[in-house]
Amino acid sequence: MMLTAAISGALLTITMFRPEAWVVAWVGLVPLFAALRGSAPRQSALYGLIAGVVYFGIVLHWITLFGWAAWALLVVFQAIFYGAFALVAGLLLPSRIGWWGYVVVPACWTVMQWTRSLGICAFPWGGFAHAQADNLPIAQLASVTGVWGIEFVVCLFSLALADAVFVSGGRKHLAAGVIAAAIAGAVYAAGWHALNSENAAKPQHRSLGATEGNSITKARKYENTKGLDDLLFRPFAFSRFRDQNPSVKVAIIQSNLGHEVTPGPDYVAKAYETSALMSFVADGDEPDIVVWPESALPVDLTDDGYGKEISDLARKTQADYLVGAYDPSKRSGSYNGAHLYLRAGEKAGVYHKVHLVPFGEFVPLRKYVALFSSYPIREEDVVPGEKHVLLESSFGKIGVSICFESLFPQISRIETQEGAVVLVVMTNDSWFERTEAARQHLMMSKLRAIENRRYLVRAALTGMSAIIDPHGRTAGELRIFERGILTGTIAPLHEITIYTRLGDYFAHACLLIVAASLVAAYRRPGVIIVCRNGDSEGDV
């Protein structure tokens, strides 16, 4: 059974390395559920831990770039969540408690994934929802339930399939499989309707040095549909959007300069000259805003040096500039910031990154663990910002997430709820080198756009930069380690989705379901019976 659990972890890794392999996620948990049948609690926890170690050990292999100790610690930490899920799920399988198990086990999985996104050391990388980011019909569910509804539906399908295959003599389990497939089909159909009731534009972009024929990406035009189908599918179309007047032209500068932890004057000068030159080239498309990625200028912009240069650049090109740079802190260390300059040259504001990367920007327990006291990747911690703030541009409020923050749906949701009409992700993914992590990181930005029905501008120092529409489609993209300019037309949007309005209500409901089920099982010990022959009985 330990091998079966490991197979489950291995299957799930495929979904994070091949975009077209999203379908594997729907069957990836089947071996684990087979292993959990008839297992004692300790065995269940062990099987979950094994599946988690295999999965995260492979998916997070790029963490070794930050050190083997960081990789091992993070893999074990994440695998513990899988172990906890398997422990609880093993007690509440449908073969033990009946039909209610088809609700509580997916709810347990959803709660597990949700808790991975909480706390200072949260690291929600590699959920089922991320694997479905390119399965756009299913991904549309995120605008209603957040990513948590996707986690629930995919887990439900795997559970029902496992019972249909491995539980003998039970028509009810076969019926459960049919119902689970019907639910998944209904979600897919609703998402497909939301996507195909719109007029899609062809993804296009302009890259530095590109041949003639590339043109500016056009904004999509969305119209309400009428009749019975609109009534049925309305939850997924809750925030159907239309072009707004005026539309906004955006230019992303992907300078493709490598990362420097302690950059020297020569590097900084080269970084500015490269980005400024590319901005002048982009000016031919008359952008309303030019976005430079995270740490595009790894210097202090609060003085009269490069800050004045960018101010002059904004006046000359008559565009807003959103620039990633570092700011000194009153304490030791510096902030990771996003600075907004308006076309008139004045500085409109700065956002300091709040949620930092464990072992990338700060070292947890540095003061208490001798091994981490002289961590080679980060000798001095980045200082976290105090709160998430919106930046007021010439066309409306911008919600900025810097790098790692794009993993957390709560951040973009709060920004949208507070009035952000456009979302921007600024990132420096050069740390990932040529691993799959850069593409996986992009997948998460797609979900942030869908959840809040906002255009999302993703500016990456070395790629992958993209303009993402409110349904998660990439309307132009620059490849990794490609120097280029990506231009497109976006629209400031004001609609509020169910998820934006209500937040993680679905995850909270799942938490209540799991808690109530555990209490009921505790009060009625006869509900859960583990048989010695490896089989389990249901309700008694």
What pLDDT was estimated at residue 225? Answer: 30
d(CA 492, CA 245): 9
pLDDT over threshold 70, residue 212: no
The pLDDT value recorded for residue 240 is: 41
8 A C-beta contact, residue 424 and residue 395:
no
Q: Distance between CA 441 and CA 433 in Å, rounded?
A: 13
CA–CA separation, 393 vs 359, rounded Å?
33
C-alpha closest to that of 459 among 434, 425, 422, 423: 425
Q: What is the mean pLDDT of residues 512-528?
A: 79
Assigned token pair, 484: 């280029």
Does residue 289 contact residue 393 with C-beta atoms inside 8 Å?
yes
Contact status, residue 436 vs residue 144, Cβ threshold 8 Å: no
What's the pLDDT score for residue 207? 52
Residue 417 burial (CB count, 10 A): 14
Q: Are strands 484-490 and 466-468 parallel, antiparallel or unpaired?
A: unpaired
Range with the poorest average pLDDT among 2-11, 154-163, 178-187: 178-187
Task: Please choose, from the candidates 158, 141, 139, 154, the residue with its C-alpha nearest in 3D space to the C-alpha of residue 33.
Answer: 158
pLDDT > 70? residue 226: no
pLDDT, position 473: 92
Mean pLDDT of the chain: 82
Strands 248-254 and 289-291: parallel
pLDDT of res. 351: 94
Residue 93: predicted pLDDT:
87
Residue 174 reports pLDDT greater than 60: yes
223 has pLDDT over 70: no
Listing DSSP states for 328-390 in one string gives: E-SSSSEEEEEEEE-TTS-EEEEEE--SPPBTTTB-TTTTT-GGGTT-SS-SSPPPPPSS---
Sheet of 474-477, strands arranged across? 391-393, 396-402, 422-427, 456-460, 466-468, 474-477
Q: How confident is the model at residue 300 (pLDDT cuts 50, 70, 90)?
A: confident
State pTM to two decimals.
0.85
pLDDT of residue 152: 97
pLDDT for position 374: 61
Per-residue pLDDT at 524: 67
Judged against a pLDDT cut of 90, whether residue 284 lies above it is answered with: no
Confidence of residue 259 (pLDDT cuts 50, 70, 90): low
Instruction: Give me the pLDDT at residue 289, please.
Output: 95
When comparing pLDDT for 499 and 268, which is higher? 499
Domain ranges of the chain: 2-196+504-527, 246-500
At 267, which amino acid appears?
A: Y
Which pLDDT score is estimated for 230? Answer: 38
Banded model confidence at residue 329, pLDDT cuts 50, 70, 90:
confident
Question: Of 53-62, 173-182, 271-280, 361-370, where does mean pLDDT reach its minimum?
Answer: 361-370
- pLDDT computed for residue 39 by the predictor: 85
Fold (CATH) for 246-500: Nitrilase/N-carbamoyl-D-aminoacid amidohydrolase (3.60.110)
Q: Is the peptide bond before 112 cis (omega within 30 degrees of 0)?
A: no
